[in-house]
Amino acid sequence: MLTLQALVASYHDAPLFQPLDLHVERGEVIAVVGRSGCGKSTLLQLLAGLKTPDQGQILLDGREIAGQAGHASLLPQGYPLLPWLSLLDNIILPLTLSGHTQASAAALAEPHLARFGLEHAKPLLPHQASGGMQQRAALLRTFLHPTELMLLDEPFSALDAITRSELHTWLLTVLPQFSKTVFLVTHDIDEALLFADRLLVFVRGSIQVIERKATEKSAILTMV
């Protein structure tokens, strides 16, 4: 589905990582781990078309998409919800911006509200909802974006440990119900090993591709 060829990116003219070559199959979950400032979020921005690589290609089903937005849904860090809109209106906002009426967008979201635990939270403003509800609303908005490629940047980092664990369990049941190819940026090695088929480990300017099942947590920790 997705191919990165000799991809290079820099920050303030300093290269973030060595040329990256990667082929991603449709439906794979790729976890991206590494120390702060190593280029993890930049990689998501490249895949989302918000940044243009210094070198290399990003091919989606054989088509060059580098620098072009609209091919992926991106969930940035934190709770990116508009405080004056209800949870439902936040969820359907990308659909209404793309031309759906309020009614048709709500109809598209309605079948998914129960599985995201939000069927009774639709009218709440973000400040009236728990952190877990806010994050599930943000995730549903990302899932509903009509693209196969989904990019999640530290989606659970702002949550307390108990809520984060609950959402891990919940997301494991939700992911198989959607046909999405996922890049998950995380500082949590346990989280990466829980969700990912493969890991991209940023190590001092290089990126190592690791099969989840063949790697112990302790080995990854010594690398990063």
Q: Where are the domains of the chain?
A: 2-71+148-223, 83-146
What's the average model confidence in pLDDT over 29-35?
91
- Give yes or no for residue 212 having a pLDDT over 70: no
Nearest Cα to Cα of residue 21 among 6, 9, 31, 10 = 6
Burial code (b: 16+ CB inside 10 Å, e: under 16) for 67-98 equals eeeebbbbbbeebebeeeebbbbbbbbbbeee
% of the chain beyond a pLDDT of 70: 94
More confident of the two residues 80 and 218: 80
Residues 6+ apart with CB under 8 A from 190: 217
Per-residue pLDDT at 90: 95
The pair phi, psi for residue 141, each rounded to 5°, is -60, -40
Query: SS3 for 70?
Result: coil
Per-residue pLDDT at 79: 67
> Which of 25-29, 62-66, 153-157, 208-212 is least confident?
208-212
Residues 6+ apart with CB under 8 A from 37: none
CA triple 199-202-203, angle to 5 deg: 125
Per-residue pLDDT at 44: 93
Rg of the chain taking only CA atoms, in angstroms: 18
Per-residue pLDDT at 28: 93
Write down the H helix ranges in 65-188.
Answer: 87-97, 102-113, 131-144, 161-174
- Give yes or no for residue 217 having a pLDDT over 60: no
- The Cβ of residue 18 has, within 10 Å, a number of other Cβ atoms equal to 12
Q: How many residues does the chain have?
A: 224
- Give yes or no for residue 59 having a pLDDT over 90: yes
More confident of the two residues 205 and 16: 16
- Compute the mean pLDDT over every residue in the chain, rounded to the nearest whole number: 87
Per-residue pLDDT at 221: 52
Instruction: Please determine, looking at this structure, whether the domain spanning 2-71+148-223 carries the CATH number 3.40.50.300.
Output: yes
Dump pLDDT digits (tens) for 167-201.
Answer: 888 888 888 888 889 999 998 888 898 899 999 99
